[in-house]
Structure 1
């Protein structure tokens, strides 16, 4: 059975509309999580934020847990994919280290980081959320490591203590960023930045 050009165009247009609706819902979910926290991030609140009907939201995401997890993963993945493909890295190893750290640190202050933090904390006492979140966070963890590797480049990644540096930086930055929930300030002035650079230089150069 052949499919006419007009039928194919209609199908493509429908798919495009669904994709646009999905992005609207995901962006709205992250916005609500970031602004209002997990307890306020109900499907009804997200529906209103996205400006879509209840039916369209439920068609895309049958449960609140699936929606919230997908939202954070969507935004974090898109952001990291964008950052991985920049090409203006310095060639000097010390400069490359400094640049990598200066680019890593702001990622822990983006809306998707705080939205993810809301889910992590909520999942401690929510088995259903934890079951939905854990496999996706493991997948995202692989992407975080790959993105960090792209920041540092092949030469530095080949150094014997690189993996230690990568894990120390990511865990330390995550912990330091959490203090900003209680004490908001300019991340660019954080004294840890200098310490992270010194540590990485010492271990990698």
Structure 2
């Protein structure tokens, strides 16, 4: 029994260590920016040795790709849960738009924006994270198909409108870097909600 339990415990410790490293990586990127997120600071925050980190993440590109994948996978779970609440009629489309704004104007956006800026001129980084990004968007499209249904709107139309909503959220999030104006962003969301109600043929008022 002990010989079986020991490898399992080692595997659990290894997974926990990897999670600490990935969380430390995301914290560094969020607080200091992609360019200043050094592996030295990451291992310090994670409380692990550099050798232990390199055993699982042999390069900074691999580490960042794994960290971004964790971030996006966690976000997919959160978005799926909120979409499920919408499908059960516990939330409205207005609630869902506000929820997306909260998600895409915070840590998720700031980390991914830093990544995109760095990946534009770093081919190794770009190639490492492209599959992760594609998987994230594929998962979003599956969520749109699974939880959002309208009698008068085709699935393709719903998918396009919800992806357009994400693009709007990202665009507003970019502006938050230079414009701190809650009323401004609230008014834009209100206008988009009204457009969504019209385009999706929903009868609920904004």
Q: The TM-score by the shorter chain falls in which range?
A: 0.7 to 0.9
Count of residue correspondences:
198
Matched, 1:155 2:152: no
Q: Distance in 1 between matches of 2:52 and 2:66?
A: 16
Indicate if the aligned counterparts of 2:148 and 2:158 stay in contact, CA closer than 8 A: no
TM-score by length of 2: 0.86
TM-score by length of 1: 0.86
Matched, 1:54 2:47: no
Q: 1:191 aligns with which of 158, 182, 187?
A: 187
Q: Which residue does the alignment assign to 1:73?
A: 69
Report the CA distance shift for 1:169/1:83 in structure 2 as closer, same or farther (over 3 A).
closer
- Cα distance, 1:57 vs structure 2: 0.7
What whole-Å deviation, never above 9, does each CA across 1:4-49 have from its counterpart, x for those lacking one?
x211100110010011001100100000000000111111111111
Report the CA distance shift for 1:62/1:50 in structure 2 as closer, same or farther (over 3 A).
same
Report the CA distance shift for 1:156/1:70 in structure 2 as closer, same or farther (over 3 A).
farther
Report the CA distance shift for 1:20/1:185 in structure 2 as closer, same or farther (over 3 A).
farther
Q: Distance in 2 between matches of 1:169 and 1:154?
A: 14
Indicate if the aligned counterparts of 2:144 and 2:159 stay in contact, CA closer than 8 A: no
Report the CA distance shift for 1:138/1:187 in structure 2 as closer, same or farther (over 3 A).
farther
| Structure 2 residues not aligned, in runs of 5+ | 202-206
Matched, 1:89 2:83: no
Indicate if the aligned counterparts of 1:26 and 1:67 stay in contact, CA closer than 8 A: yes
Q: Which residue does the alignment assign to 1:32?
A: 28
Which structure carries more relative contact order (alpha carbon 8 Å, separation 6+)? 1
Indicate if the aligned counterparts of 1:31 and 1:111 stay in contact, CA closer than 8 A: no
Q: Which residue does the alignment assign to 1:174?
A: 170
Report the CA distance shift for 1:92/1:59 in structure 2 as closer, same or farther (over 3 A).
closer
- Cα distance, 1:185 vs structure 2: 4.8
Q: For 1:155, what is the secondary structure of its paired residue?
A: coil
- Cα distance, 1:200 vs structure 2: 0.8
Q: For 2:149, what is the secondary structure of its paired residue?
A: helix
Q: Distance in 2 between matches of 1:157 and 1:50?
A: 50
| Structure 1 residues not aligned, in runs of 5+ | none
Q: Which residue does the alignment assign to 1:107?
A: 103
- Cα distance, 1:73 vs structure 2: 1.5
Report the CA distance shift for 1:88/1:167 in structure 2 as closer, same or farther (over 3 A).
closer
CA RMSD of aligned residues (A): 2.4
